[in-house]
Amino acid sequence: MRAQKECFACLEGLAKRTAELAAADQIQKEDALRRGLAYLQENFSTRQIPTRIAGEMQRAIRVAAQNADPFAAVKEKEMKAARELARAVRAALGNDLPSLVAFAAKGNSIDFFLDLDRLQKEIQKPVTFARNNIDDLYALLEGFKNSRERKTILYLADNAGECYFDLPLVRKLEDFAGVTYVVKENPVQNDLTLQDLERSGIRAQFPRVMTTGSDTPGLDLSLVSKEFLEALRSADLLFAKGMGYYETLPELRLPAPVFFLLKAKCPPIARSLNVPLNSYVAYLLKSVV
């Protein structure tokens, strides 16, 4: 998805938030923000993918502030809250695919743009999908299960706290295919990294884990590792959490189908999907070539 004019203000706000978290010293904070905004001013275009601008802009801020993980404290708080919230609502859900997809979708409400004090009310709300292709996903998975060879799924994780909501679904998907849980190699905003997953205490419960080899929101193939690129090109299904992957994956023209699971938190994303703002989406894109 290409940037819309209104994306500029959102990216500007992200730069300010990142710089505020990246440095305690006011002079260093102002310098980091100046560098981030300079990159944004010079490179913003409606021909660009927003996540790619965001990734480079934040990299400039991190370098200037000499802080590799400005959102570390935010993620720690987010993960602690998510762990408790997941425990509170998981027991009431079934173990069928639609229930576990809905549970994973709840995790996408946990975002640093939200006040964490409001999350408990948000998580308690039932998930209603404005766009729902779960039946199509199930049919695809049944085909995988009946195949002579073991199929592969890459489950592309989003925000740090979501790992607790993703785990039951990942384990369910293992009934149909081999699943690899994919996290970021290095920090960017509040995205889940390998280090975050190790701190969560549940890494060993995921059947397989790998990183993208990169530190950008969404996916930029020019920055990923060779190992991940090979896995991406050979996967039979990409299960993609969050708006960043929705912005980037359709642009990459990969042969595998993609199942997008997200909450449409911004107007351009909602318009693109033709759903109301802040609605949940379970969307199977059968081919991107």
pLDDT in tens, 154-165: 999 999 999 999
55 and 31 share a domain? yes
Q: What number of helices (H) and strands (E) belong to the chain?
A: 12, 7
136 and 208 share a domain? yes
> Which pLDDT score is estimated for 32?
97
**Inside any domain, residue 142:** yes
> Which pLDDT score is estimated for 116?
60
Q: What is the mean pLDDT of residues 110-137?
A: 81
251 and 117 share a domain? yes
Q: What is the mean pLDDT of residues 127-149?
A: 96
**Rounded percentage of the chain residues whose pLDDT exceeds 90:** 85
Query: Does 112 have pLDDT greater than 70?
Result: no
**Inside any domain, residue 271:** yes
Q: CA nearest 109: which of 137, 95, 89?
A: 89
> Which pLDDT score is estimated for 123?
79
**Inside any domain, residue 151:** yes
Binned at pLDDT 50, 70 and 90, residue 188 comes out as very high
140 and 247 share a domain? yes
114 and 184 share a domain? yes
pTM: 0.95
**Inside any domain, residue 193:** yes
**Rounded percentage of the chain residues whose pLDDT exceeds 70:** 97
102 and 220 share a domain? yes
What is the four-CA torsion angle of 278, 280, 285, 286, rounded to 10 degrees? -170
> Which pLDDT score is estimated for 281?
98
**Inside any domain, residue 275:** yes
Q: Which of 45, 65, 85 is the last residue of a domain?
A: 65
> pLDDT tens for residues 206-244?
999 999 999 999 999 999 999 999 999 999 999 999 999
> Which pLDDT score is estimated for 97?
97
Lowest mean pLDDT among 84-88, 130-134, 244-248: 84-88
Residue 263 sits in a domain of what CATH number?
3.40.50.10880
21 and 149 share a domain? no
Determine the residue type at 289: V
**Inside any domain, residue 32:** yes
81 and 133 share a domain? yes
> Which pLDDT score is estimated for 126?
86
22 and 112 share a domain? no
166 and 260 share a domain? yes
Q: CA nearest 238: which of 219, 223, 266, 222?
A: 219
Q: Which of 65, 83, 106 is the last residue of a domain?
A: 65
Average pLDDT of the chain is 93
Query: Does 289 have pLDDT greater than 60?
Result: no
Overall number of domains in the chain = 2
**Inside any domain, residue 2:** no
> Which pLDDT score is estimated for 286?
86
Q: How many C-beta neighbours within 10 Å does residue 210 have?
A: 16
132 and 42 share a domain? no
Binned at pLDDT 50, 70 and 90, residue 111 comes out as low
> pLDDT tens for residues 15-52?
999 999 999 999 999 999 999 999 999 999 999 999 99
Query: Does 91 have pLDDT greater than 90?
Result: no
51 and 83 share a domain? no
**Inside any domain, residue 1:** no
Q: Which of 44, 65, 86 is the last residue of a domain?
A: 65
Residue 15 sits in a domain of what CATH number?
1.10.8
Query: Does 115 have pLDDT greater than 70?
Result: no
Give residue 117's domain range: 72-285
Q: CA nearest 21: which of 83, 112, 111?
A: 112
